[in-house]
Amino acid sequence: MAIAGTMRTLPWSWYTDPAALELERDAIFRRHWQYVGHAGELPTPGSYTSTRLAHIPVVLTRDETGALRAFLNVCRHRGALVCDGSGERATLQCPYHAWTYGLDGRLLAAPRFAREGGTDEAELGLVPLRLETWGPFLFVCADDDAPPLAEVLEDVPERVASAGIDVDALRFLQRAESELAANWKIVAENFLECYHCPTAHPGFSAVMDVSPDAYRLETHAWRMTQHGPPRPEPKGAYDPRGAVERGQFHLFFPGTVVNVMPGRPNLSIGPIYPLGPEQTYRFLDYFVDPDADDTWIAEMLEFDTQVGVEDRALVERVQAGVGSGLLGQGRLMPESERLIAHFQSLVLDALAS
């Protein structure tokens, strides 16, 4: 029996088709802001770190003046990756033919360049990418025409601050990385609803009030938000009591996630992006109050890890189902899954443009 008011999902072939992924890489991931790391990875002038903007290799630097910069991590000579990992250096040198760049991106040296008639060093620096910040959080965009980061974040920095969290005072705790056997959209869509929480996340649901009257959903231009309080008498290993009274969970299109749990000041942030049509990479950087005690930190990480384990099983089951090819689309509940509907409308708009 059909459920009145349900909406159709995107075609499920878009979750398995390599051609769909190529379109998404160009129309979505090249054109939107994505979290790539934090300023603590570049502590002093001369620091650099390599990262990615989805499929685009990126190097972040702090030059001799202390300015933070982002570049395409691709040599202008033959296209090799210029650097790996992170560290401190006065210059960046491609290991293929030793073309050497300053931390401001300028081409400083290229063996035999002058001997063989090269005259345009100024035109052959590393390609700059837009880099903007929210506190210590670094975002990169490869599209010069994209709106400023502040327009994408909207009032989230103020919401986080009003919850009692000074992002500049937080202590970086750790980075958790994962690869999932599911399309990136499935991973994002799973994050965007808690309709599944009572069934699939018993530990989370014992702490957080996930009833539809308490757990609120919001859609904005590029942001989808969920927020809600802990239960009046939470059960389980995680203690949500503290200065932060409500949880808030944001996704900035296409895949930057920001989580704040109730309890002591905390925040986790990280990207979701495709490795292939049915493979997704994500990481979360965890930040906590400088005075947070080790016991609470361990409980928080164990709580979050368990939710992640449960989510992995869910998204990989969905990928196995949509890959059957016998059903063209799914259905969405109009209220409980309206953040997914908004997300899918953004995907459609991006591909149509």
Helix/strand number for the chain, H first, E second: 8, 19
Q: Are residues 304 and 185 in the same domain?
A: yes
How many whole angstroms separate alpha carbon 65 and alpha carbon 86? 19
How many whole angstroms separate alpha carbon 241 and alpha carbon 234? 9
The answer on pLDDT for 117 being more than 90 is: no
Does 56 reside within a domain?
yes
* β-bridge mates for residue 175, sequence order: 285
| Neighbouring C-alpha atoms within 13 Å toward the C-beta of 320 | 7
How many whole angstroms separate alpha carbon 90 and alpha carbon 242? 45
Overall average pLDDT of the 220-234 stretch? 94
Whether omega before 11 lies within 30 degrees of 0, making that bond cis, reads no
Q: Are residues 20 and 47 in the same domain?
A: no
- Residue 236: band (very low, low, confident or very high) from pLDDT cuts 50, 70, 90: confident
What is the sign, positive or negative, of the torsion defined by CA atoms of 296, 298, 299, 300? positive
Expressed as residue numbers, the domain containing 217 is 7-29+165-352
Q: Are residues 287 and 314 in the same domain?
A: yes
DSSP string, 78-100: T--B---SEEE-SEEE-TTT--E
Q: Are residues 195 and 309 in the same domain?
A: yes
Using the 3D structure, point to which of 106, 141, 176 is the last residue of a domain: 141
pLDDT for the residue 5: 63
Q: Are residues 135 and 177 in the same domain?
A: no
Does 2 reside within a domain?
no
Overall average pLDDT of the 115-140 stretch? 92
What is the sign, positive or negative, of the torsion defined by CA atoms of 53, 55, 56, 61? positive
User: Across all residues in the chain, what is the average pLDDT?
Assistant: 95
How many whole angstroms separate alpha carbon 188 and alpha carbon 59? 25
The answer on pLDDT for 32 being more than 60 is: yes
132: CATH: 2.102.10.10
Does 213 reside within a domain?
yes
Overall average pLDDT of the 317-336 stretch? 95
Q: Are residues 171 and 285 in the same domain?
A: yes
Does 126 reside within a domain?
yes
How many whole angstroms separate alpha carbon 151 and alpha carbon 100? 36
How many whole angstroms separate alpha carbon 110 and alpha carbon 322? 50
Longest dimension (CA), the chain: 77
Q: Are residues 181 and 307 in the same domain?
A: yes
Q: Are residues 199 and 312 in the same domain?
A: yes
Number of domain units in the chain: 2
Model pLDDT for residues 146-181, shown as the tens digit of each residue: 999 999 999 999 999 999 999 999 999 999 999 999
Overall average pLDDT of the 71-93 stretch? 97
With a pLDDT cut of 90, the percent of the chain lying above it is 92
Q: Are residues 131 and 184 in the same domain?
A: no
How many whole angstroms separate alpha carbon 185 and alpha carbon 44? 37
pLDDT for the residue 119: 73
pTM of the shown model: 0.95
Does 200 reside within a domain?
yes
How many whole angstroms separate alpha carbon 309 and alpha carbon 331? 25
Overall average pLDDT of the 270-281 stretch? 98
Q: Enter the tokens of residue 331.
A: 């259905």
The answer on pLDDT for 1 being more than 50 is: no
Lowest-confidence pick of 67-71, 118-122, 271-275: 118-122
The region that residue 220 occupies, defined by phi over 0 for left and psi between -120 and 50 for alpha, beta otherwise, is beta
326: CATH: 3.90.380.10
Q: Are residues 185 and 74 in the same domain?
A: no
Using the 3D structure, point to which of 91, 106, 141 is the last residue of a domain: 141
How many whole angstroms separate alpha carbon 278 and alpha carbon 186? 9
Lowest-confidence pick of 47-51, 114-118, 202-206: 114-118
The answer on pLDDT for 23 being more than 60 is: yes
The answer on pLDDT for 2 being more than 80 is: no
Q: Are residues 15 and 137 in the same domain?
A: no
Q: Enter the tokens of residue 8.
A: 């159709």
Does 245 reside within a domain?
yes
Overall average pLDDT of the 185-213 stretch? 96
The answer on pLDDT for 297 being more than 60 is: yes
Does 150 reside within a domain?
no
Does 154 reside within a domain?
no
Q: Are residues 203 and 342 in the same domain?
A: yes
Using the 3D structure, point to which of 83, 108, 141 is the last residue of a domain: 141
Fill in the amino acid letter for 62: R
The answer on pLDDT for 247 being more than 70 is: yes
CA 245 to chain centre: 24
pLDDT for the residue 68: 98
